């Protein structure tokens, strides 16, 4: 059984005396923190007569939705192409999840050119090259006529905050959320790692046969990094919004994928970095 996503710790709270002269005040208190634990992802692959097991990643993440995280990770890394490629996905011990691939699925370890350990803050750091990352997702030249009214975007951050159950207690988690084109909340996942939160979200959608997510809006609670755009592209998402800033490589990739990328979405304002044609101002 994986532990709770929230842990209580004893702290000493120090408060300033303010403008008046005097000593700082301190008192014992309890604080709630977001739990961070390692999760080892393993796969079982090969034909029916020669099944092999391989450890493919260890990621530091928040406990919960482990099967979704593993499923989303396998999909966004290009190891599987859909839900049908996984026979089963279950936990084995406190910090291990094992996904059994369908017999006949070809698994090339070189597809995961990633160090065995992945930090919670950066999922792409172990990649051996940027080209290896870019080559994961299939090109999609399909044109669309998706349009969204600008006021829809400005309401998304407040809606997301109301959905962030663990953040409400800890203030220490990232979130990824799916909305329809009218701004209605559909699905939210949280994690101490921004890439884990998105893998959980995409994994949940994949398990419900909702991929591709071409008629959805993805909202990221923090910045938009290259890897998050790559994962969104794998899921067929055409509109990505971030509360924080995008990186230069994220903007470049969004443009290559004909994706609408919005950044600094807060306080009723936002910047459009690519795909302006989908936003009615």
Active-site choice (61, 122, 241, 257):
122
122 catalytic? Reply is yes
DSSP structure string for 186-244: EEEEEESSHHHHHHHHHHHHHHTT----TT-EEEESS-B-HHHHHHHHHTT--EEEESS
Active site residues: 122
């Amino acid at each position: 059984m994986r532990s709770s996503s929230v842990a209580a710790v004893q702290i000493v709270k120090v408060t300033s005396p303010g403008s008046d002269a005097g000593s700082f005040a301190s008192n014992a208190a309890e604080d709630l923190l977001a739990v961070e634990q390692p999760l080892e992802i393993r796969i079982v692959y090969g034909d029916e007569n020669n099944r092999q097991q391989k450890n493919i990643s260890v990621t530091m993440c928040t406990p919960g939705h482990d099967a979704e995280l593993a499923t989303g990770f396998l999909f966004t890394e290009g190891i599987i192409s859909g839900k049908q490629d996984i026979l089963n996905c279950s936990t084995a011990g406190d910090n291990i999840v094992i996904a059994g691939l369908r017999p006949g699925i070809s698994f090339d370890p070189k597809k995961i050119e990633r160090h065995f350990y992945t930090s919670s803050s950066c999922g792409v750091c172990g990649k051996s090259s940027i080209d290896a990352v870019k080559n994961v997702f299939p090109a999609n030249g399909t044109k669309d006529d998706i349009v969204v009214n600008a006021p829809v975007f400005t309401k998304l951050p407040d809606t997301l905050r109301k959905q962030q159950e663990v953040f409400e207690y800890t203030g220490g988690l990232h979130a990824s959320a799916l909305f329809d084109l009218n701004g209605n909340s559909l699905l939210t996942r949280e994690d101490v790692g921004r890439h884990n939160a998105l893998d959980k979200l995409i994994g949940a959608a994949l398990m419900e046969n909702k991929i591709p997510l071409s008629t959805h809006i993805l909202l990221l609670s923090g910045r938009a990094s290259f890897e998050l755009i790559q994962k969104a592209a794998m899921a067929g998402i055409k509109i990505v919004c971030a509360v924080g800033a995008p990186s230069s490589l994220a903007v470049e990739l969004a443009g290559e994928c004909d994706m609408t990328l919005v950044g600094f979405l807060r306080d009723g304002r936002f910047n459009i970095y690519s795909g302006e044609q989908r936003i009615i101002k």
